[in-house]
Amino acid sequence: MNVSPPDRLRTRLRQLLRANAILLWAALVGCAGALATLLFRDGLTLLQALLFGRSGSFVDIATALPWPARLLTPCAGGLLAGCLLVLARRHAGGVRADYMEVVAVGDGKVPVQLTLVNSVSSLLSIASGGSIGREGSMIQLAAMTASVVGRIGRFNTVRLRLLVACGAAAGIAAAYNAPIASAFFVTEIILGAITMNSLGPIMVSAVVANITMRRLPGYHPTYEMPAFAPIANLEVVWFVALGVLAGLIAPAFLYALQRTRRLFAGSSLPLPLRLALGGLGVGAISLWVPQVWGNGYSVVNALLHQSWLWQAVLVVLVCKIAATLLTSGSGAIGGIFTPTLFVGAAMGHLFALVPQALWPETAAAPAAFVAVGMGATLAAATSAPLMAILMIFEMTLSYSLMLPLMLACVVAYGVARAVNGPSMYEITARRAADEHERERLRAIRMQELIRPADTVLPLDAPIALAAALFRQHPVKYVYLVDDARRYRGVVALHDVAALYQQDGASARTCADIARPDALPVVSADMSLEEALRQFMRHFGERLPAVRSATDPELLGAVHKTDVLDAYVRLNREPLGVQVEG
């Protein structure tokens, strides 16, 4: 039957649309995610106007407030935010809310009610001056929107996870004006691997989100970057040193954050009072340093464009870290992505004083160290150097900054890994632990799995002793050893039973019915794969374990369940499953 050209064309178009339908859904999610991000941003602006009669920079707002209001506003905001969190947790019912967990190990369903209540709580913490990033709730809302779209479209679990990942990328792109970095953030941190089946839709979603934000009123870049002069070869050495410093400071910051969270969680105070106490600490610090209010956007922009006294930068940095520890450590909902960028920016500004003092002719402008410091600290904190490089590059659009930025980020990542620093995100830490366990299992030898063997007899033992062991232990074989405890074979249960039916059985010894090659033997230095092959030759539960092929001293027994358990753990699907399009 001949098919007409129009029919062939329609068939090809249907096949093309079916194969690329996920890209259309990703574009839709990108637009919806940008709108969700805009809704949170406008909600924050509205809440600022209601609380303070103005909106804009939190530093300017804090500076204009009388000291009692500056002290108590973060405390009151924390108290209200905590009450909302208690309400949310009572109705959560153990539902997984974090979008990273939903994509990596969940079913792709981001709970709507819980996400909305958490977002309002985050709004209260941020609007009242909490030192925490707004990007966490923005991304969560964008991911929730994507999950709702996918459920309306009746996506299966795998495609729904991918759509939620697209929503998360859209939220990051809308928040930071960095669509490429946002796509790599999701693939590098959340999914754990970069494949085109996932990267393509995620990148489409991020680009559409960025375009949408640019077309909406009120858009402006998060960080206003200056022009960067070309950086000479010798100047690069200073940026490598900056990377080393960032690789040490970022883990220290995250360790302090973990410690603060444990201290607050271990207190007997209810959650609202914990957040109120954290807010009171922020308010007290802001009496002397109002720059600790908010996520630090305005201060970072000032560091990029203005000259600061190093004493002022150091004071603001220390106080900002303390305020972030109090806010996030007390349990407030929000991100520490932006505060981490603040730490890197201030550290870079301080570090710029070193080359200026020691070797002025090779010193780049302080703004270059600020930008590279942001990227290096982010790379060390997130364990995602590629994402950090792309994010700072998209923010600066400066090719002259790329070489020092790449070096600093990679060095910072390497130093943070070398000191076994924690990761900003729990999913990354869990994946690192999972990979560490896999490496341990790859290197495992049977020495680690040997158990003591209770069913062992000397060669000259009477048959009666073997019969007694069989009655005591549910085994089919008793191991035989010589005077030097070298393995000499086994006595089988059915041989003993058959011998007892004959006359003179009590006068016989185990050596008379020994089977030297009845069982495969496992050696202590044998790998997991080799041991598994030995068990494939035998249907029993355990095998004798000797020291080596040349030294058959019996050490005990290896059980099949132990070998299979280690093998399954080695070959199970990695954390952060690959979602296919």
pLDDT in tens, 70-100: 999 999 999 999 998 888 777 666 666 677 7
User: Higher pLDDT residue, 101 or 262?
Assistant: 262
Q: Which residue has the higher pLDDT, 570 or 491?
A: 491
Least confident of 129-133, 196-200, 511-515, 531-535: 196-200
CA dist., res. 69 & res. 344, Å (int): 30
Q: How many other CB atoms sit within 10 Å of the CB of residue 308?
A: 16
Rounded distance between C-alpha atoms, residue 453 and residue 464, angstroms: 19
Stronger pLDDT, 579 or 541, i.e. the higher one? 541
pLDDT at 230 over 50: yes
What whole-number distance in Å separates Cα of residue 521 and Cα of residue 398? Answer: 64
Identify the residue with better confidence: 145 or 108.
145
pLDDT of residue 145: 92
Mean pLDDT over residues 12-40, rounded?
79
Best CA proximity match to 34, nearest among 219, 247, 242: 219
Give the Cα separation of 108 and 162 in Å (integer).
8
Sequence-distant (≥ 6) Cβ neighbours of residue 60 within 8 angstroms: 298
Banded pLDDT at 486 (limits 50, 70, 90): very high
**Span 235-260, pLDDT tens digits:** 888 899 999 999 999 999 999 998 99
More confident: 406 or 135 = 406
Mean pLDDT for the stretch of residues 187-210: 82
pLDDT greater than 70 at residue 400: yes
pLDDT of residue 376: 96
Residue 15 pLDDT exceeds 80 = no
- Cα(244)–Cα(379) distance, rounded to whole angstroms? 12
Residue with tokens 């600490």: 281
Most confident of 313-322, 362-371, 439-448: 313-322
Among candidates 162, 216, 205, 155, which has minimal Cα distance to 182?
205
Q: Alpha-carbon distance 344 to 342, whole Å?
A: 5
Q: Which of 20-24, 26-30, 31-35, 575-579 bottoms out in mean pLDDT, i.e. has the lowest?
A: 575-579
Give the model's pLDDT for residue 574. 55
pLDDT higher than 70, residue 492: yes
Per-residue pLDDT at 378? 94
Closest CA to 525 of 450, 438, 435: 450
Which tops the pLDDT comparison, 91 or 414? 414
Q: Identify the pLDDT of residue 580.
A: 46
The arithmetic mean of pLDDT across residues 504-514, rounded, is 79
The predicted model scores a pTM of 0.76
Tokens encoding 377? 């600290």
What confidence tier does 375 reach under pLDDT thresholds 50, 70, 90? Answer: very high
> Of 195-199, 374-378, 506-510, where does mean pLDDT reach its minimum?
195-199
User: Of 193 and 173, which is predicted with more confidence?
Assistant: 173
Residue 49 tokens read as 């106007």
Q: What percent of the chain has pLDDT over 70?
A: 87
Confidence of residue 3 (pLDDT cuts 50, 70, 90): low
Residue 578: per-residue pLDDT: 45
Task: In the chain, count H helices and then E strands.
Answer: 24, 6
Among 497-501, 514-518, 570-574, top mean pLDDT goes to: 514-518
How many CA atoms are closer than 13 Å to the CA of 389, on its beta-carbon side? 20
- Which contiguous run of DSSP H or E holds residue 44? helix 21-52
What pLDDT, on the 0 to 100 scale, is given for residue 406? Answer: 93
If you average pLDDT over residues 127-155, what whole number do you get?
A: 89
pLDDT of residue 577: 45
pLDDT > 90: what percent of the chain?
Answer: 30
Q: What is the 3-state secondary structure (H, E, C) of 110-121?
A: CCHHHHHHHHHH
Confidence band, pLDDT 50/70/90 cuts, at residue 298: confident
Name the residue among 137, 83, 77, 134 with its Cα closest to residue 283: 77
**Sheet of 542-546, strand order:** 522-523, 542-546, 554-559
One-letter amino acid for residue 424 of the chain: M
Q: What is the DSSP-derived secondary structure letter of residue 512? A: G
Farthest CA pair distance, the chain? 107
**Residue at token pair 């200073």:** 238
Contact 58, 294 (CB under 8 A): yes
Amino acid at 133: G
| Count of beta carbons in the 10 Å neighbourhood of residue 201 | 28
User: pLDDT tens digits for 452-479?
Assistant: 888 899 988 888 888 888 888 888 899 9
Mean pLDDT of the chain: 84
Q: 335 φ, ψ to 5°?
A: -100, 160
* pLDDT score for 263: 92
Q: How confident is the model at residue 14 (pLDDT cuts 50, 70, 90)?
A: low
Mean pLDDT lowest among 67-71, 127-131, 494-498? 494-498
Please give the structure tokens belonging to residue 287: 């009496």
Return the pLDDT at 208.
92
Q: Is residue 21 predicted with pLDDT exceeding 70?
A: yes
Q: Residues 100-118: what's their mean pLDDT?
A: 81
Residue 131 near residue 324 (C-beta atoms within 8 A): yes
